[in-house]
Amino acid sequence: MISLATWFRWSAALALAGVAGAARAQPAAPAKLIVRNATIVTLEDSQPDPFLGYLVVGADGRIAAVAPGEPPAGLATRETYDAGGKVVMPGFLSGHSHLWQSAFRGIAPDQWVTGWLLLIHRTYGPFFGAGDPYYFTLHGALDYLRHGITTTFNYSQNLNFTPALYEEEFQAELDAGARFIFGYALSARPDLATSRKNFEAFYARVQALPPPPLLLKVSLVGEGFAPDYLKYAADLMREHGLDIQMHYLEAPGAAAVKQQGSFPDLQAAGLVSSKLVFAHFIHPTDAMLQQVGAAGGGMIWNPLSNGRLGSGLADIPQYQKAGVAIGMGLDGQASADIADPFENMRMGMYGLRMKYQNATVMMPIDVLKLHTIGTARVLGVADQVGTLRPGKYADFLVVDPANIDTGPVTDLYATLVFACKISNLDRVYVGGEFVVDRGNPRQHDMARISAEVRTRVEGIRARLSDSKRSQTSFSPITP
């Protein structure tokens, strides 16, 4: 007798190959969920066309089958959802995110990167108290989730916090209910030896946990470019076999020229490799592109944030010609302000079309893949998420082009990218669990969390005022 998992693999393979009479054996245990009557967009290279079919989620929260037609007769399941022809597609990924920044939208509207950083990090950061990183990160993670982002690389930041205060960001991610990669911030403060000690202690605690399914992996994130710092980061990367992500070449002009000078130091430290992902990477030289591409490196493109801060437009077609792997991210909600992958795709694609004065330089299916499987590949988790395929996590969206009405659909990919928005996002599933219902998280009291965040932001403002160090003001956030 074949196992349930083997049966599902055989059934899915036969159906996707268009072979009639796919296996109909009775499974040994009920599925967690069957989604039927869905217009399925797998984004698998081998399945370029959408089809009307079904998706089966196993008890482990992974996709057991996805195929055209109706599910096998007699297939036992704990729950069935009739999608009514709505679109079922993979959840979006954000490959570069600062979730704690969700509490600080709309700041520094007249500043580019440097001035903006001075305000959010050096003005507000020193006045964070216990619980602030937790609630700000939780708010940001849920905001991402309700916008259809089911996997996030959280580029956490240590604003000179104690280890306990800093690690609130990790706990918030565990509690949010979305899939994530935690980017551990390798601070140079107070010194590299203490930073190493703090990381080793954190990493040991994570490894001792029962494997949390929402945590895909821990990565490193770096901020410094001094040679001793780069060697320290590269040593940790090699010792633990971890990836590393770094902000690089985000700011334009003289700042870009100055930072370009650190590239030989990155190479000397051994960081330029398939383990390195650059965040932003807007202003590289042609030689840098060729070397990063040859090394198997990648970058995360953040169009909304880059536009908001006036950072510039990454020439993605040129990066791809050089062999640089491309993913997409929303950055922080204090620089992109809205955690909206639909707007992020449009901003990037339209910018490139204007630059090239060519409507074919990037097509809807191209940018849709960049924000899903492309990002998964850059982050090294394409075997887990990014497409709808048996064995991957059942993280998917239900998109309804008819609510709000986008009109007749002649090209589904074009409709998804050009015409759909968050108001068309009907449901969000993570691991086959129905976690967001038309923008409302089902496992959290978002109104309570938003109220808590507002109160904590007001506390930071009060402490700023008391210290007579306040440099600006901003409007209170809304839920």
Give SS3 for 114.
Answer: helix
b/e map of 56-88 (b: 16 or more CB within 10 Å)?
A: bbbeebbbbbbbeeebbeebebeeebebeebbb
Which tokens is 90 given? Answer: 């993979």
- Name the band, by pLDDT with cuts 50, 70 and 90, for residue 28: low
Would you state the pLDDT for residue 353?
98
Q: What is the pLDDT of residues 46-67, one digit of tens each?
A: 999 999 999 999 999 999 999 9
Would you state the pLDDT for residue 220?
98
Which tokens is 274 given? Answer: 């398939």
The mean pLDDT of 174-195, rounded to a whole number, is: 96
Give SS3 for 218.
Answer: strand
Q: How far apart are CA 375 and CA 330, in angstroms?
A: 12
Does 39 score more than 60 pLDDT?
yes
CB 471 within 8 A of CB 117: no
The mean pLDDT of 250-267, rounded to a whole number, is: 96
Would you state the pLDDT for residue 184?
98
CB 435 within 8 A of CB 145: yes
Higher pLDDT, 16 or 103: 103
Does 469 score more than 70 pLDDT?
no
Would you state the pLDDT for residue 8?
28
Would you state the pLDDT for residue 16?
39
- Name the band, by pLDDT with cuts 50, 70 and 90, for residue 14: very low
Q: What is the pLDDT of residues 372-404, one digit of tens each?
A: 999 999 999 999 999 999 999 999 999 999 999
The mean pLDDT of 195-201, rounded to a whole number, is: 96
Higher pLDDT, 125 or 101: 101
- Name the band, by pLDDT with cuts 50, 70 and 90, for residue 160: confident
Would you state the pLDDT for residue 212?
82
Would you state the pLDDT for residue 473?
47
Q: Which residues fall within 8 angstroms of residue 355, CB to CB, at 6 or more apart?
A: 313, 315, 361
Q: What is the pLDDT of residues 408-422, one digit of tens each?
A: 999 999 999 999 999
The mean pLDDT of 131-139, rounded to a whole number, is: 98
**Which amino acid, residue 285?**
T
Find which of 106-120, 123-137, 361-375 is predicted with most confidence, using mean pLDDT.
361-375
CATH topology of domain 92-379: TIM Barrel (3.20.20)
Q: How far apart are CA 463 and CA 459, in angstroms?
A: 6
- 4-91+387-440 and 92-379: identical CATH topology: no
Locate the domains of the chain by residue range: 4-91+387-440, 92-379
Task: Give the CATH architecture of domain 4-91+387-440.
Answer: Roll (2.30)
Furthest-apart CA atoms within the chain: distance in Å? 75
Would you state the pLDDT for residue 152?
98
- Name the band, by pLDDT with cuts 50, 70 and 90, for residue 124: confident
Would you state the pLDDT for residue 115?
87
Would you state the pLDDT for residue 468?
57
Apex CA 96: angle with CA 91 and CA 97, to 5°? 85
The mean pLDDT of 90-98, rounded to a whole number, is: 98
Would you state the pLDDT for residue 394?
98
CB 424 within 8 A of CB 405: no
Q: What is the DSSP letter of 417?
A: I
Q: Mean pLDDT for the chain?
A: 91
Q: What is the pLDDT of residues 207-258, one digit of tens each?
A: 998 888 899 999 999 989 999 999 999 999 999 999 999 999 999 999 999 9
- DSSP letters, 322-387, are TT-EEEE--EETTTT-S--HHHHHHHHHHHHHHHHT-TTSS-HHHHHHIIIIIHHHHHT-TTTSSS
CB 96 within 8 A of CB 153: yes
